[in-house]
């Protein structure tokens, strides 16, 4: 999204450009808003947290001689007299991808200064996220009713529960925090804080639609983590 | 660079590219679900899961998170640390194999 032009600085493409940017004065990430760079650094650290969770899950699952519960059956739903494997998880995946798409469009319309469209799309993203958290709560209560606990479960290896609650719980927390911020930013967009360049609550810096892109980065990251959880925890 | 210049220079991308990526993500998610639906097993299952996962992750990062359009200075700072995660995965694979081996060994042979 950065298409920068800085006076007196020649932008080179590719790796020579990277060397020149890194070795240049003052700023390494040319034309990148500082908030965006900081969000990326935060997401990088968050990547390491989720990687540690998934790697510990891999180690726990790989090192137990007891059979691992079959996720296809554990997360299956009984609908209209038919057992559908992983149905709820599939719907949750589609809801999250839908909300990711609306967020990407919100960023686009934000940069085009289309206030209403941007606001509605952020609101749609927030509602998608809320739906996701709701379905996750349903999934948790269903499994808890079936006797899944962090230390035991009726399906197989007892480690299953602790990894499940830890990983999906941490991801769900990220989604919930994202939903709260999406509602706040939807309000701020509708209220015109970015058009009027109004200052934020905790900052003296003027509002700009780049903040929507920063929020979008966080939201896409939540979707990205779900891609990995879906693959490793539910499908594997 | 002063603030007024920066705003005029921000370019946006055509809506088509977002809709294409959105559609592709739906299709890829549907394919990963089909992997479970048809109960593929063994190497086929794992390779399909990984291929669809990396394709989805790549599309989200490249286009939704705009990394495709960012300068290499930012992209490389973000992507190179992933090699540390890959190293960690290899270490822990060796570790869980050893743990499993010792567990099974002492279950059957005894201390």
Q: How large is the ipTM? A: 0.88
Eight-class DSSP state of B77:
H
The answer to whether position B88 is within a domain reads yes
* CATH numbers and ranges of domains, chain A: 1-32 (no CATH), 34-235 (1.20.120.80)
Q: What is the span of the domain harbouring residue B63?
A: 3-71
Of B56, B71, B95, nearest to A2 by CB-CB distance is B71
CB A21 to CB B18 under 8 A?
Answer: no
* Distance from the A152 Cα atom to the nearest Cα atom in chain B, whole angstroms: 19
Of B50, B66, B92, nearest to A1 by CB-CB distance is B66
Q: Say yes or no: B12 and B54 in one domain.
A: yes
CB A15 to CB B89 under 8 A?
Answer: no
Q: Say yes or no: B16 and B54 in one domain.
A: yes
The answer to whether position B109 is within a domain reads yes
Q: What is the residue-level pLDDT of chain A in tens, covering all 236 positions?
A: 455 667 777 788 888 888 888 888 778 888 888 889 999 999 999 999 999 999 999 999 999 989 999 888 888 887 777 778 888 899 999 999 999 999 999 999 999 999 999 999 999 999 999 999 999 999 999 999 998 999 988 898 999 999 999 999 999 999 999 999 999 999 999 998 888 888 877 777 788 889 999 999 999 999 999 999 999 999 88
Q: Say yes or no: B67 and B91 in one domain.
A: no
* Angle between the N-to-C axes of helices B72-79 and A34-63, in degrees from 0 to 180, rounded to the nearest 10: 20
Q: Say yes or no: B57 and B25 in one domain.
A: yes
- The predicted pLDDT at position A84 comes to 80
| Number of Cβ atoms within 10 Å of the Cβ of B77 | 17
Q: Say yes or no: B57 and B104 in one domain.
A: no
The answer to whether position B67 is within a domain reads yes
Of B13, B26, B36, nearest to A235 by CB-CB distance is B36
- The CA distances from residue A215 to A3, A35, A74, A178, A182, in Å, are 19, 10, 34, 8, 8
| Number of Cβ atoms within 10 Å of the Cβ of B107 | 9
Can you read off the two tokens belonging to residue A85? 């494997």
Contacts of A63 in chain B (CB under 8 A): 95-96, 99-100, 103
Sign of torsion over alpha carbons A47, B48, A133, A148: negative
| Number of Cβ atoms within 10 Å of the Cβ of A204 | 6
- Tens of pLDDT, residue by residue over A70-102, are 888 888 887 777 778 888 899 999 999 999 999
- Tens of pLDDT, residue by residue over B2-40, are 444 444 445 678 888 999 999 999 999 999 989 888 888
Contacts of B26 in chain A (CB under 8 A): 94, 97
Domain count, chain B: 2
The answer to whether position B76 is within a domain reads no
- The predicted pLDDT at position A31 comes to 82
The answer to whether position B106 is within a domain reads yes
Q: Say yes or no: B48 and B15 in one domain.
A: yes
CB B46 to CB A5 under 8 A?
Answer: no
Across the A:B interface, residue pairs with CB atoms under 8 Å apart total 174
Which among A22, B46, A27 has a CA at the least distance from the CA of A14? Answer: A22
């Amino acid at each position: 999204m950065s298409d920068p032009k800085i006076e007196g600085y020649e932008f080179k493409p590719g790796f020579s450009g990277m060397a020149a940017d890194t070795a240049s004065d003052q700023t390494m990430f040319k034309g990148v808003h500082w908030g965006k760079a900081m969000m990326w650094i935060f997401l990088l650290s968050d990547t390491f947290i989720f990687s540690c969770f998934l790697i510990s899950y891999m180690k726990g699952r790989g090192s137990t001689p007891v059979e691992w519960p079959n996720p296809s059956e554990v997360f299956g739903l009984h609908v209209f007299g038919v057992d559908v494997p992983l149905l709820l998880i599939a719907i949750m995946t589609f809801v999250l991808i839908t909300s990711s798409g609306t967020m990407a469009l919100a960023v686009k319309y934000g940069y085009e200064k289309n206030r209403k469209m941007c606001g509605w799309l952020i609101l749609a993203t927030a509602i998608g996220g809320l739906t996701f958290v709701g379905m996750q709560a349903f999934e948790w209560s269903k499994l808890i009713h079936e006797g899944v606990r962090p230390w035991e479960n009726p399906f197989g290896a007892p480690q299953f529960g602790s990894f499940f609650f830890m990983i999906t719980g941490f991801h769900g927390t990220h989604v919930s925090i994202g939903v709260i911020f999406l509602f706040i930013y939807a309000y701020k967009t509708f209220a015109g804080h970015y058009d009027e360049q109004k200052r934020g609550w905790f900052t003296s810096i003027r509002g700009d639609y780049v903040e929507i892109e920063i929020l979008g980065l966080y939201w896409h990251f939540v979707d990205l983590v779900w891609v990995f959880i879906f693959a490793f925890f539910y499908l594997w | 660079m002063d603030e007024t210049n920066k705003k005029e220079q921000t370019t946006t991308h055509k809506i088509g590219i977002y809709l294409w990526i959105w559609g592709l993500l739906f299709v890829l998610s549907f394919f990963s679900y089909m992997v479970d639906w048809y109960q593929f097993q063994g190497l086929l299952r794992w390779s399909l899961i990984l291929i669809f996962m990396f394709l989805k992750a790549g599309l989200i990062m490249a286009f939704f998170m705009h990394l495709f359009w960012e300068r290499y200075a930012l992209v490389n700072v973000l992507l190179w640390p992933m090699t540390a995660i890959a190293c960690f995965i290899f270490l822990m694979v060796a570790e869980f194999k050893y743990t499993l081996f010792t567990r099974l060994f002492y279950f059957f042979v005894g201390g």
